[in-house]
Structure 1
C-alpha cells in the first residue's frame, strides 16, 4: 500500500506540473516567441528599411556638417572683400551654430560617442575662431582672422575634421 500511495502521489504531482507548464506556455509562450523574433530581427537591418535609410541620411548630413564647419571651407565661404574681423567672427560663429541646430535631430540615429565628438568639434571650432580674434588687433581685417585660424589648423598634427569624418564613416560601416 505504501508503494501505491507513493505512485498515486507522484502521478498527481506530475499531472499538476504538466498542467501548470501548459498553462504557463499558453499564457506566456506567444510573448516569448515575439520577444525572440524581435531580438533576432534587430541586428539584421534590411537595405530597404526606413530606419537604415534614416541612419545613413543622418551620417551623410553629419559629414556635410563637419565639412561645412571646417575653417578651410567655412572662412572661404563667408569671406567678403573688405570684411572686418568682428563681422567675420560673428558670421562664422552664427553659421556654425545654425548648421548645428539644423542637424541636431540627427543625434537620434548616431552612436552617442560619435555625436559627442561632433558636438565637441563644433564647440572647439567656435572657440578657435573666438580665440583667434582675441589675439588680433580690433582693427584687423577678416583676411587676418582667416590667416590666423588657418595657420593654427596647419600646426595641428591630425586634422580633427578629417578624424571626425573618419569616425562617422566607421559608424556607417557598422550598419552593414
Structure 2
C-alpha cells in the first residue's frame, strides 16, 4: 500500500466516524439538554432550600433593627435620670449606628428597595434627633430632648417604623 492510499483511508475513516458522532449527537441532543436542565432545576431547588432560612433570618433581624431604632423604644432603653442632652444624643446616635452596622450584611438577602427604605429610616431617625437638639435651648436636658423627639413622632400621620415593618413583612410573604 502506498502512503496516499493510507491517507485516503484514514480520511474516509475519520469522515465516517465524524458523521456517525454527529448523527448520534443530533439524535440524543434533546435528551442531553433535558438531562442538564433537570440538573440545573435540581441545583436551584437545593440552593433555595439553603437560602430560604437565611433570607427569613435577615428579614427577622431587620424587623428587630427597625423596632430597636424606633425612638419610643430607643429612648426607654437609653434614658437615665438626670442625663444631659449631649450624652443622650451621643448615646442615641451611637446605638443607631451600631445597630445598623450589626445588620448591614442583611441587605444580601432582602429586596434592594426594602433595604433602601431601611437605610433611609436610619438616616431620617438620625436627622430627627439632630433636628430636635437644634430646636431646644442650650440649657435643655435629656428629658426635654426625649419629649421633643416623641412630640415629633406624635405629629407624624403614619408611623414610619410601623410602615417599614409592614414592608419587610410583605417581602417575607413574597418568599412563599
TM-score by length of 1: 0.79
Shift of 1:140: 0.7
1:163 — aligned with what?
163
Provide structure 2 residue ranges, at least 5 long, that are not aligned to the other structure: 1-17
Give the direction of change, closer, same or farther, for the CA distance of 1:150–1:43 in structure 2 (3 Å limit). farther
Give the TM-score, by structure 2 length: 0.79
* Cα displacement (A) at 1:139: 1.8
Task: Provide the rounded CA distance (Å) in 2 between the counterparts of 1:21 and 1:107.
Answer: 50
* Residue of structure 2 in register with 1:34 after alignment: 36
Gap regions ≥5 residues in structure 1: 1-15
Contact 1:85 1:138 in 2 (8 A): no
Instruction: State the match for 1:122 in structure 2.
Output: 122
Determine which structure has more spread, i.e. the larger CA radius of gyration. Answer: 2
- 1:145 shift after superposition: 0.6
Secondary structure of residue in 2 paired with 1:99: helix
Deviation track 1:41-86 (CA, whole Å, cap 9, x = no partner) reads 747987xx23111111111000000000000000111001101111
Distance 1:31 1:41, change over 3 A: same
1:96 and 1:31 map into 2 onto residues whose CA distance is: 52
For the aligned residue pairs, the C-alpha RMSD in angstroms reads 2.8
Question: Distance in 2 between the 1:43 and 1:163 partners?
Answer: 32
CA 1:121 to 1:23, structure 2 compared with 1: closer, same or farther past 3 Å? same
Aligned pair in 2 of structure 1 residues 139, 43: CA closer, same or farther (>3 Å)?
A: farther
1:96-115 correspondence runs (5 A): 96-115=96-115
Once residues 107 and 101 of structure 1 are traced to their aligned partners in structure 2, the CA distance between those partners, rounded to angstroms, is 11
